[in-house]
Amino acid sequence: MQKIVKWIAFHPKSAIALVLVITLIFTSFTANLQEETSLESLFPNYPEVGIMEDIQNDFGNQEPVIILIRGEDVLTPEYFRKTADITEKIWKDAIINSALMEPKDESITSLPEFLAVYQLSLKGNFNPSKEQVLEEIRSFVSKDEIIRTFNAFLEDPNVPQVMKDYVLVFLPKTFDGDVMKSNKMVIYISLDAALSNGELEKTELRIESTAKSVDAKTLTYGFKLLNYYYVKTEERLIPAFLIALILILALMILNFKGLSDVAISLTTLFLAMLWTFGLAGLLGWKIDVMAGMVPILILGLGIDFSFHVLMNYREKLKETSDPKKSAYLVLSTVGIALLLAMVTTVVGFSSNGISKIPSMRHFGFLSAFSILAIFVLNLTFVPAMRELLDLRKAKRQFKTSKKRELVKNGVIKRLLWLIKKPSIVVIFLIIIFGVALPGWVLGFGMKASYDPTGELATDLDITKAHDILNEEFDVGTETVFIRVDGKLTDPKFWEELEKAVENMNDDKYVVVYDGKARVEWILSLVPFFTMEDQRVAGAYILVDKNRDGKIDGDVTPAELKAFLSALYETPMGKYYLHKDENGNFDGLIIRVATRTKLGYHGKKLLEELKEDFKAINANVSFTGMPIIWARGLDDIRDSMANSIFLCLAFAFIVLPIAFGLFHRSLFLGFLTALPPFITIGWLFMTMKFLGIPLNMMTAMVGAIIVGIGIDYPIHIANRWALERKEGKTLEECYAISLSSTGKEVLYSALTTLVAFGVFILIPIPVITQFAITTLFGLIYSFVGAVLTLPLLLRLFWHRGD
């Protein structure tokens, strides 16, 4: 270590040349950088993901898009005409039409369309064209006519109940049939998910613009639309970065003595960014929202290292008036503290690498590497540049000051009074630990959550659409897929399956309407299959002679095969039935509407579904975003716990060893590791008190705060130990540590607070939550360094003189 330090101090030009060569190498890889444009990249490669892919391959897949129409009362001719206009424009748009699911006639559905088809059927037109349906929708001239038709439809005994239930899905769950008034309704559009992500995104954007061209108040929701606005949200990080840069620049100018120090620090930050994103390009990692925050992180943390190096360099220069010797001394003393701070911070960030969530892993590793790059640059480029600039002023006489002045301002005087009172110190420590320990218990009792719009700006229309659909409509944006593989021509199979479907009626996290679970499968959709092909009706009569909606127990395998064959031949049949290469029907799909807060209750849902289907003598698989994210959320929580324990374990092992080597005190290292432990407990308590959820972003804060927060007590403890070696009293050690190193720690904390504080300005929920949590963690870390650590040192290590 000393050889490296000496080489840097006495060969500054070579050190700078080496830095520039490394920078050129990393810069060459930045050309490979790509932006992540898909939310699906967040999903880990769980077995359920494979099941979902198999379902898409075997049954096909649809991409649902929902248009939300809003008004004072949408059950009026005005809004029926708007629905017809939107439907017609979508239908006649060649790009959108080519992306519609087959049968295309049924891929755009709405309440007005159902009522128009019903009206036409009463007139004897049982197979109307799209143009006839649209004309019929526009023919409603009064609200009374709409109400009469709606009531007639709901009361008509010839209309299957499943079709009546389906129509009500287009209206909010609070819709009152007696009042017959609603301020919202939806249009459902089914796109062919076999198309590329780019084609689907383009189509959904055209659907959104088409709907707005008819009524500007419409909202549109689609998963590929989410991806598009996900990318747009990433662009909002750029202004935040610029704001952080301006604020940090102001702090630097206030703190540094000259503009040259500011220029050196900013250049260092720029080089660290090139190194970090060069690594991302080298590894082929795409830049998502989380990786996009790394530059702001570099701003906040990188300047900390520069503060310590440059301010201590100035202090040594006053003592020696020799730039080379000053550089050597600062690297020999502060370099040790920076090394410990770097190692613990790198461990803090890289501990997120154990997560199964790709975004968390990449963010953790990129952040860790950025800290390593900042450390290397501040031990090479920064002192070398400062030294060269000062050597150019060789004729200048630097003022020397051998005596270190003891500074006692009002705050330091009060803190000195505090640590002189052992009884008060004990009381303070009891309070501090009394809050921290329950906080740990509360923290590890938290459940992780995920909101797909949490990474989108709150002012976006798609965010509003998602919230309205999930809060006000029976069928929101969640669907679970149940694949049942078995012998479908076995009557026993159907008896068991029907019982399992009935079991879902009392499941807590399945959407239930009028006592029945909201499920789509071949028996619930028989009326729709019949509308497509009348042969289905003839085949169905033979397997359900008593018309109770269930397969008869005495049905023959041949009759079942004839029924399944009729279903399979319809345009929709292949999306619900699977036939093997020998022509045997061996599988089907059940689609279930759920409400789990996208996986928050997914584990409980999966337990319910497994219990529902346990009696079936067949292979049953469960998948869907709620189930996939149930596993992901468990991994987020486990990652948080593991990363925090890893960081703290590392701190409690490495710091005693390091302080034992450099200051001959293992116990001092142990005491220095305690403040981060306390900080995490306080942080958990704050999250619980403020209602901040544990999500993919906030789960990383614990390890990050341990990594960042350990820097502060390391610098204070290191300075305290150095002063004590010189024979300083307790009062002098504390006062000097606070007035010199404490000032550096304060500026470090302020810059980091500014860097993370600008995140609050971004109207993206997960980033705002991340920022608030991190800000509290940084404040607690600073307090831990300047108050908690000195209290511990006073009571257990430096009792007095």
pLDDT at 382 over 80: yes
Lowest mean pLDDT among 371-385, 490-504, 735-749: 735-749
**Domain match, 356 and 227 both:** no
Residue corresponding to tokens 């301002």? 409
Residue 459, in any domain of the structure: no
483, 595: one domain = yes
pTM here is: 0.73
Going by pLDDT thresholds of 50, 70 and 90, the confidence category of residue 800 is: low
Q: Is residue 344 part of a domain?
A: yes
CA–CA gap between residue 362 and residue 354 (Å, rounded): 10
Q: Which two tokens stand for residue 137?
A: 């929708």
In angstroms, the Cα distances linking 678 to 415, 670, 682, 779 are 19, 13, 6, 12
Contact 229, 462 (CB under 8 A): yes
Is the residue at 776 inside a domain?
Answer: yes
Q: How far is 625 from 52, CA to CA, in rounded Å?
A: 9
Q: What is the mean pLDDT of residues 744-758?
A: 80
Is 602 in the same domain as 691?
no
Q: What is the pLDDT of residue 231?
A: 74
Q: Does some domain include residue 52?
A: no
- Asked if residue 344 and residue 307 are part of one domain, the reply reads yes
The amino acid sitting at 557 is P
* Residue finishing a domain among 182, 214, 232: 232
- pLDDT band per the 50, 70, 90 thresholds, residue 84: very high
Mean pLDDT of 270-282: 93
Residue 514 corresponds to which tokens in the numbers above? 């009028």
Say whether both 717 and 596 belong to one domain: no
Q: Is the pLDDT of residue 776 over 60?
A: yes
Q: Are 774 and 701 in contact (CB under 8 A)?
A: yes
User: Out of 59-63, 591-595, 755-759, which region has the weakest mean confidence (pLDDT)?
Assistant: 755-759
Residues 127 and 251 in one domain: no
Q: What is the CATH number of the domain that holds 738?
A: 1.20.1640.10
Predicted confidence at residue 668, as pLDDT, reads 92
* Same domain, residue pair 725 and 780: yes
* CA 159/CA 177 separation, integer angstroms: 17
Q: Which two tokens stand for residue 634?
A: 């468990």
Cα(337)–Cα(321) distance, rounded to whole angstroms? 23
pLDDT at 408 over 70: no
Residue 634 lies in a domain: no
Q: Which residue has the tokens 């149930």?
A: 630
Give the pLDDT confidence of 535-552 residue by residue, as tens digits: 888 898 999 888 888 888
% of the chain beyond a pLDDT of 70:
94
**DSSP string across 489-510:** T-HHHHHHHHHHHHHGGG-TTB
Give yes or no: residues 273 and 167 share one domain.
no
Distance CA 404, CA 115 (A): 88
The residue with tokens 């045997």 is 584
Q: Based on the domain organization, do 78 and 226 belong to the same domain?
A: yes
Within a domain: 345: yes
d(CA 83, CA 773): 45
The last residue of a domain, from among 356, 390, 424: 390
For residue 409, name the pLDDT band (cuts at 50, 70, 90): low
> Which of 629, 653, 677 is the endpoint of a domain?
629
For position 87, what pLDDT does the model report?
Answer: 96
Tokens matching residue 756: 């993370």
Structural domain total, the chain: 4
**Structure-token match 């991190």, residue found:** 774
Domain membership of residue 638 (yes or no) is no
Residue 433 and residue 311 in one domain: no
Does position 248 have pLDDT exceeding 90, yes or no? no
Give, in degrees to the nearest 5, the angle at Cα 799 between 795 and 801. 160
Report the pLDDT value the prediction gives residue 679, as an integer from 0 to 100: 93
Arithmetic mean of pLDDT, 459-471? 87
pLDDT of residue 103: 81
Mean pLDDT throughout 260-264?
Answer: 89
The verdict on 317 and 264 lying in the same domain is yes
Alpha-carbon separation of residue 128 from 153, 236, 366, 385, 525 (angstroms): 17, 48, 59, 80, 20
DSSP for 124-153, please give it.
Answer: T-SS--HHHHHHHHHT--SHHHHHHHHHHH
Is 46 inside a domain boundary?
no
**pLDDT at residue number 56:** 83
Within this chain, do residues 598 and 732 fall inside the same structural domain, yes or no?
Answer: no
Full domain range(s) for residue 246: 1-32+236-390
Two tokens at 722? Answer: 């150095």
Of residues 56 and 607, more confidence is placed in: 607
Provide the pLDDT for residue 156: 92
Beta bridge partners of 190: 64
Averaged confidence pLDDT in the chain: 86
